[in-house]
Amino acid sequence: MDSRTIQLTPAAHKYGNLNIRPCGKEFFPPDVFGAPSKKASLGIPVTLQVDGLPNPVETDIPTDKKTGTPRWIFRERKWVRDFVRLHNLRMEDTVTIRRLDERTYRVSPNNNIHVIEKECSTKHEKPLTELHLADKTQKKLLDIGHDRTCNCPKTHINCLPAKEWLKCQLGVWQFVFRSPL
C-alpha cells in the first residue's frame, strides 16, 4: 500500500510529537481531523500498529484552534516517546508510516543501526565498527550457519593459540602489503 517517510525532530524526543506534515492531508481519511481539544470533539480515530509496542494506538489528528488547519501531530503521543526510546532512534532518523487499509497504519523505524548496536551491547559484545559510519546505511548481523567441531571457548574464533595465529597472520599481511617495486 501507500507509505510516507518522515524525519524525527527534537520534539519527538521531548514532547512525543511526531511531525506528520510530510504525509499530507490526502494520506489520511478526511474525518480523522478533529477539533483542537478532546472536549470539543474528536475526529474518527485511525489505528496505528507501532513496531515494538504490544498494543495498537487509536488516535486522531487535532486541528489548530484559530485556523482550523491540521496541527500535523497525532493527538495520542505517549507512544511516540516509547517508540523512540525502544528503537534508540536519534534526531534526524527516519520513520515510515505505511497505510495498510483505509483506517489502519503501520509505524516502523527505517534506521535500525542503533537497534543493532544496542543488541550487541546487551550481549556484552563490542558493537560492529561499521555501524558507526556517518552515512547510516542499514547493517544487519549475518547469520551464517555453522557447527562447532571443537571444545574451544565460544569467544575464540579458531583453535590456534594467539601466538600461532599471529605468526600465520604475519605471512598474510606481508603478502598483501608487499610493495610492487
Give the span between the Cα atoms of 60 and 33, in whole angstroms: 6
Q: What is the pTM of this model?
A: 0.61
Q: Where do the domains of the chain lie?
A: 3-109
Reported as type and span, the H/E element at residue 95 is strand 94-101
Residue 175 φ then ψ, to 5° = -65, -45
Q: Which CATH architecture has domain 3-109?
A: Beta Barrel (2.40)
Per-position DSSP letters for 51-82, written without gaps between them: TT-SS-EEE-EEB-TTT--B-SS-S--HHHHH
pLDDT higher than 60, residue 124: no
| Candidate from 107-121, 124-138, 159-173 with smallest mean pLDDT | 124-138
Q: What's the pLDDT score for residue 125?
A: 46
Where does the pLDDT of residue 114 fall: very low under 50, low under 70, confident under 90, or very high at 90 and above?
A: very low
Radius of gyration for the alpha carbons in the chain, expressed in angstroms and rounded: 24
Where does the pLDDT of residue 47 fall: very low under 50, low under 70, confident under 90, or very high at 90 and above?
A: very high
